[in-house]
Amino acid sequence: MNRHIILTSGRSGSNYLANTLNQHPEIVNYGEVLASMILPYKLYDKCQKICRWSVIDYLNYIYSSKTFFYTAQFYSTYAHLRKKKPINFKKWGKISHLGTKDFFLNYRSKNALSFLLEHEEIAIIYLHRENRLRRYLSGVFLRKTRVAFSEQKLKVSKVHIEPAQMMKYLEILDQ
């Protein structure tokens, strides 16, 4: 089975890419697995104190576990049923590509970069948004709407942009 990761710096279309890949019958992308607010990472964080798994062990488990795979498939089925969307349940033996999507900063802050170095067979798709101003504005609208990705056009009321805050953010992105 081929493996991949979508590494992103945020507000770059990574959710769209992961969702598009998941529409293929032979591809699964779990999404963010190192985000502190995501259930799998929360469970790992609690269990890590007991079972002493490193973040590398956790990532190896995610990329190789049939149990994790089927748990994710059942959760996806439940979420699709709730939203009245078509179900796309996949079977382990039919998957040709398995991957995740995460922020480069999560890999760095959680000392997981060595996982990528140890697994040269994992294809890395790196997404970033060249236009820093559009990236900043995308973040502003995300905070206003609390919607990271939508298939529908959203109506957003006017937003207030603090020029000094925007300039500071753009300088950080330049670095």
pLDDT digits (tens, 9 = 90+) for 72-98: 999 999 999 999 999 999 999 999 999
Q: Clarify whether residues 137 and 59 are in a common domain.
A: no
Residue 115 and residue 50 share a domain = yes
Q: What is the DSSP letter of 110?
A: T
Residue 13 backbone class (left: φ over 0; alpha: ψ -120 to 50; beta: rest): left
Q: What is the pTM of this model?
A: 0.81
Domain count, the chain: 2
User: In angstroms, what is the C-alpha Rg of the chain?
Assistant: 18
Do 86 and 108 lie in a common domain? yes
Using a 10 angstrom Cβ sphere, with 0-12 exposed, 13-18 middle and 19 or more buried, the burial of residue 9 is: middle
Regarding whether 123 and 147 lie in a shared domain, the answer is no
pLDDT score of 149: 67
Question: CA 5 to CA 21: how far, in whole Å?
Answer: 12
Do the beta carbons of residue 44 and residue 53 sit within 8 Å?
A: yes
Domain that holds residue 78: 2-127
* Residue 106 and residue 141 in one domain: no
Do 75 and 119 lie in one domain? The reply is yes
pLDDT at 47: 86
Is the same domain home to 55 and 109? Answer: yes
